[in-house]
Chain A
Amino acid sequence: MHHGEPTDVREDRATDDIDARDTAGVLAALHRLSALGTVATARGSAVAPPVHIPRPDSSWLRVRDNLLDRGATVAYATWTEWLPAVLTTPRLRPLLARDWNRYERTHDPAVRCRFAASRLLIKYTAAAALGIAPEDIDIAYRLGGRPYLRGLDQVEVGLTHTGELMAVGISRMGRMGLDAERADRRFDLDLMRRGMCTPAEAAELDALPADQRAACLLRLWTLKEAYTKALGQGMRLPFTEFGFGLALGGLRAPDGTAALGDEWAFATYPVLGRYLVSAACHDAGLDPAGDTSVGTMLDRRLLTAMTPPGHDAPAVDI
């Protein structure tokens, strides 16, 4: 741990402890390597920079605009910021719905509140995107663990939490995955490198100064987590079977060549000055409508066309 660290970053940081990491150093290293930011798909869809939503009643405007303009957006907060809402809202039970049992059964109050806060963030973010009330959002899970909004497939969601941070991603282009880590997270460099890196990544890492390797490994880790979560595989897709460049860029095969076409958007951003958040978002190529609101989802002409003659109103008001 360094003491008396100046806030600006020196190019030639000298340190005795090459395993020591600090947040500023990690983020500065990634910045120097042009590893932070967002990569758009060829069609121009991208994950917009994450938006801080400190309370449920904060403005959701930027989240909605990002979704419309860029195709995907991320909302984040700390669970402690949302704690007052969890503790004081009279609607907690209808808001949590199917998750209420798990909330009640959890003994540790901190764990319980953190869980509730993350569910609320998902529901509020999705509700903002779709123009409905948070109580109407039903979070369900695919067999691989990927969350989705039951009955509402105009958007896909991704979620992650670490430490105090919780983040929710919403995309109208296709599947989305998120991962976050503390920027000063400690880990065994060699173990990570062997367990996670493709041959091409390992070679690129080896060419770097030692004090930048940890930062790059952390970024690669969050990107690979985000990507496999977008695929709905969690940990099941071996990380050594796909890779990234050390600078901002797209997916690569293990030998370093470009792996897929231009239909995946990736992003890595620092958040709250101390976390790293990565997002992976697939563009399924359908060029979907900007309008994601639930209110316009059903074609009223079809509904009226199906009403048998003799009825006054379309038999749909359910």
Chain B
Amino acid sequence: MNDNLTAAAPGAAARPAARGPRVLGGGAARAQYVEDLLGDPFADGNPHGQRALLAADERREAPAATEELLGRFGLAAEFVPRPLGGRLAGVEELAQVLRPVFRRDVALGFGAGMTALFAASVVWAAGDGRQRRDTARRLLDGGRITILHREFVHANAILRGEYSARPAPGGGYVVDGRKEVVINADRADAFVAYVRTAPGDGPDSHSVFLLETGRLPAHAVHRLPRARTHGMRGAHYAGLDLQQCPVPAGALVGKPGEGIHLSLRTFQVSRALVSGGALVGGMDSALRYAVRALGESRRGLVLGGRRGRVLAGVFADLLACDALAVAGLRLLDLAPEHALVPSAAVKYAVSALLHEDLDELAAVLGARGYDRSPAYGGFQKLVRDLPVAGLGHAGTADTQAVLVPHLRTLAHAARRGESWHEAPAALFTPGVQGGALDFRRLDAEPRDPHHGCDGLLAALLGAAARLDGKRARGRRWAALADLGRAFAAEVHRLVERCVMLAGRPQSMTPSPAAYVLVDRYCLLLAAASCLAVCENAAPGTPDGALLAEPDWALLALTRFGRRLGLEVPEPPDGVAQDLAAGLVDRYRRGRSFDLYGMRLA
């Protein structure tokens, strides 16, 4: 089609094909490959190092050289399912591959990659054969795709604005509307758009369209200028205005009115990847800056001091958040039908915990927290980028919509009085061969394999009970067993309060007490994953040994307990110091601070 007549993005044909080199191996191997490609972030001459990335951020530009590098690696192939010619199998693996990118630059991870998956996942979940093949080909050939959300409640700038469509007399649709703050709206050749197709507030008010700008008339499509955001500046936020735009009937993804359902299904993947990719990856880097700052202070790396305790605490939180995030990712790979509630809880907990920890790190860094030089500038960039990545309150409200109804499920399960089935141990073994996510199996209905019990809460009860049998191993194990008991009691208390709340007279809006319970519930799930990963860790490797020992779980659960307002004792002497030593050990050996402990460039 003549480029003058269509709304195709400029320069769309010029990008390298994303099929990339034949990178063999699973997620860990490909992640290592990407990490080594990106190179040492603090090497002066590295075009993909902090100096170049910070300069690009200052210019509000995506770092071109690094985007090109990732293009040559074929990052887009990571978002295309294997049956369609890409490399995407499981989302845990995908998160592993993306972590080197997110550790390097959060905005880059979204703009050069993950946003494309958010959009494509709708097509993988509900697209017809042609749409799936076209989207796959577009991504593999280096094209860009992005997502146009519907307007969220309590929307911030990024989530504001939406499009609406009416049927066209001769078939197809006519679409109008405008959004101003959309990643890659200036560069994308295709948009997955949530469009209002029916009035009112019913669940069938929206449908999803795959808008391919090469097939739309240029006069009806206007790309709006770059929007200035405070964080993720290089992520090319821009806008798209559609005016009486004719859209062919074949652009509809799934059935008319299926939009809300599709968002419920695909957001599970987005949330899991934001948590397990962007947030954990970003915090890994933030913690690294703090460790380096301590190492450069006049007294050297003080392990036993107050600041060492702070870092040990943040390290424990990061591992625990990763345990929860990886459990969520593995659940999507192994049993996607059951991931609706857990993925919301993962996003809620990981966002809240890691944002709080970022503050703690800022205090350790002190004046270096404002430094814009390549050595520490990445930290202030993370402080700006991470809230934008997490979408703030509007993102929280979105998860609460899923989690508040779950409280009633808990109440019903309690009333039935059956024993609960624990979530399988396969969720808590990071990096072990998992499944491949079949997007079509994602479900909009909250569902647990055993009809309404909560497998993750049950896992907390089970792990706590088994810890009792490990007291003889030593003082720290006994302390962990005590914590396990306290958390088990808190699970029961939470469920009782759900029962009480469910017994109140019904009303149109949920009681605010429900939000308080959701908050507490998510912390309990973080504790559950932490204990379960500890229990299932194989002590063989140096990093496995750290996970199999109780220190990190002790510190994490103490902190979670304090956050819940429980009376928990101080951990036994030496726990924080020993964990801080473990942190320094990883730092010196150049290993990541997450569950995988992979080698850094």
Contacts and interface: CB of A to CB of B under 8 A. Distances in A.
Interface stretch (A29-37, A74-82, A143-151): A143-151
Contact of A297 (B158, B366, B397, B444): B397
B512 A132 contact: yes
A161 B455 CA distance: 45
B510 A316 contact: yes
Interface stretch (A2-10, A16-24, A200-208, A284-292): A284-292
A317 B518 CA distance: 14
A231 B409 CA distance: 37
B294 to A, nearest CB: 14
Given A153-B396, A253-B370, A306 B405 contact: yes
Contact of B506 (A292, A308, A317): A317
B157 A286 contact: yes
A289 B405 contact: no
Please indicate which of the listed interface residues A237, A302, A304 has the most CB atoms of chain B within 10 Å of its own CB: A302
A236 interface: yes
Nearest to A172: B393
Interface string A268-312: 000000000000000111111101101111111111111010000
A315 B559 CA distance: 33
A301 B367 contact: no
Nearest to B514: A318
Contact of B405 (A143, A146, A291, A315): A315
A113 to B, nearest CB: 23
B363 A236 contact: yes
Interface string B108-146: 000000000000000000000000000000000000000
Interface string A118-151: 0000000000001011001110111110100011
Please indicate which of the listed interface residues A152, A153, A259 has the most CB atoms of chain B within 10 Å of its own CB: A153
A241 interface: yes
A305 B411 CA distance: 21
B422 interface: no
B205 interface: yes
B543 to A, nearest CB: 26
Contacts of B306: 236
B490 interface: no
A288 B563 contact: no
Contacts of B519: 140, 150-151
Interface string B230-242: 1100000000000
A174 B386 CA distance: 13
Q: For the complex of A and B, list the 10 residue pairs with the smallest distance between their C-beta atoms, beginning with the closest.
A: A285-B230, A151-B515, A287-B157, A305-B203, A136-B512, A317-B506, A286-B156, A241-B367, A302-B401, A233-B363
Given A288-B156, A316-B408, A317-B510, A306 B445 contact: yes
Interface of A: 98, 130, 132-133, 136-138, 140-144, 146, 150-154, 174-175, 228, 231-233, 236-238, 241-242, 253-254, 259-261, 263, 283-289, 291-292, 294-306, 308, 313-318
Contacts of B396: 153
B392 interface: yes
Interface stretch (B35-43, B147-155, B479-487, B533-541): B147-155
A233 B367 contact: no
Interface stretch (B68-76, B165-173, B354-362, B589-597): B354-362
Contact of B367 (A137, A228, A253): A253
B394 interface: yes
Contact of B366 (A151, A238, A301, A317): A238
A311 to B, nearest CB: 11
A297 B446 CA distance: 20
A259 to B, nearest CB: 5
B401 A287 contact: no
Contacts of B565: 98, 140-141
Contacts of A261: 230
A210 to B, nearest CB: 29
B507 interface: yes
Please indicate which of the listed interface residues B153, B261, B507, B565 has the most CB atoms of chain A within 10 Å of its own CB: B153
B203 A301 contact: yes
B218 interface: no
Interface string B518-538: 111000000000000000000
A232 B357 CA distance: 10
A296 B508 CA distance: 11
Interface in B321-370: 340, 352, 356, 359-360, 362-363, 366-367, 370
B266 interface: no
Please indicate which of the listed interface residues B340, B407, B511, B515 has the most CB atoms of chain A within 10 Å of its own CB: B515
Contact of B518 (A144, A151, A315): A151
Contact of B512 (A144, A152, A231, A300): A152
A288 B401 CA distance: 18
Interface string B356-390: 10011011001100100000000010001001100
A19 B506 CA distance: 64
Please indicate which of the listed interface residues A233, A261, A299 has the most CB atoms of chain B within 10 Å of its own CB: A299
Contact of B445 (A141, A153, A263, A308): A308
A136 B366 contact: no
B501 interface: yes
B511 A136 contact: yes
A157 B261 CA distance: 35
A303 B401 contact: yes
16 contacts: A140-B563, A151-B517, A232-B360, A233-B363, A283-B230, A289-B154, A289-B155, A291-B154, A295-B509, A302-B398, A304-B202, A305-B203, A314-B405, A315-B409, A316-B510, A318-B514
Contacts of A260: 370, 380
B154 A302 contact: no
A143 B562 contact: yes
B405 A297 contact: no
Given A143-B360, A317-B507, A288 B516 contact: no
A143 B397 contact: no
A143 B352 CA distance: 12
B230 A288 contact: no
B404 interface: yes
A299 B363 CA distance: 37
A143 B357 CA distance: 9
